[in-house]
């Protein structure tokens, strides 16, 4: 019997203010290598899950984050109040409820994460 791998759903946390950056711009929108930090993370996530199983939690400057990722086909989860990492994942409870499989939670400001690390 060949076991099929469990489907993977990815939640990318991108709602925070990024106050330690000392910038008015959302942390995940800062650029490195010609792209917003969160764009790098979405590209990496697409190596382990299809766009319809990738959700970006947005809050601070949500419209700008959505705009930066509009062409990727990922979904968005609104976190109205930024109350931390656990609360951000909890904000997506309804959207994620029926998906099954594995859940991978990534930070939207981690552009150096590589697909191999996620697959491992």
Chain segment 88-99, per-residue pLDDT in tens = 888 888 888 888
Rounded to two decimals, what is the model's pTM?
Answer: 0.91
* DSSP summary character for residue 80: S
**pLDDT per residue over 28-77, tens digit each?**
999 999 999 999 999 999 999 999 999 999 999 999 999 999 999 999 99
Phi, psi (degrees; rounded to nearest 5) at 93: -50, -45
Residue with tokens 């959505």: 66
What's the token pair of residue 97?
Answer: 């409820």
Annotated domain spans of the chain: 8-83+99-119
Respond yes or no: is residue 117 known to be catalytic: no
d(CA 34, CA 62): 20
In terms of phi and psi (left: phi > 0; alpha: psi -120 to 50; beta: otherwise), the region of 5 is beta
Q: What is the pLDDT of residue 1?
A: 63
The residues, any chain, with a CB within 8 Å of residue 69's CB and separated by 6 or more, are 38, 39, 42, 56, 76
Alpha-carbon distances, residue 102 vs 17, 20, 53, 98 (angstroms): 28, 32, 11, 12
Check residue 92 and report its DSSP letter: T
Residue 18 predicted with pLDDT over 60: yes
Per the CB < 8 A criterion, the answer to whether 57 and 92 are in contact is yes
Catalytic residue among 20, 24, 93, 117: 20
pLDDT of residue 118: 85
Class of domain 8-83+99-119: alpha beta
């Amino acid at each position: 019997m060949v076991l099929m791998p469990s489907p993977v759903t990815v939640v990318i946390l991108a709602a925070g203010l990024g106050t330690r950056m000392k910038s008015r711009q959302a942390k995940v929108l800062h650029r490195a290598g010609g792209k917003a930090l969160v764009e790098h993370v979405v590209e990496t996530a697409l190596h382990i899950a299809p766009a319809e199983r990738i959700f970006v939690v947005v809050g601070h400057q949500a419209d700008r984050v959505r705009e930066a990722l509009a062409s990727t086909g990922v979904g968005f989860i609104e976190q109205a109040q930024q109350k931390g990492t656990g609360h951000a994942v909890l904000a997506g409870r309804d959207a994620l409820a029926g998906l099954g499989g594995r859940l991978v939670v990534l930070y939207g400001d981690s552009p150096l994460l590589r697909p191999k690390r996620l697959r491992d």
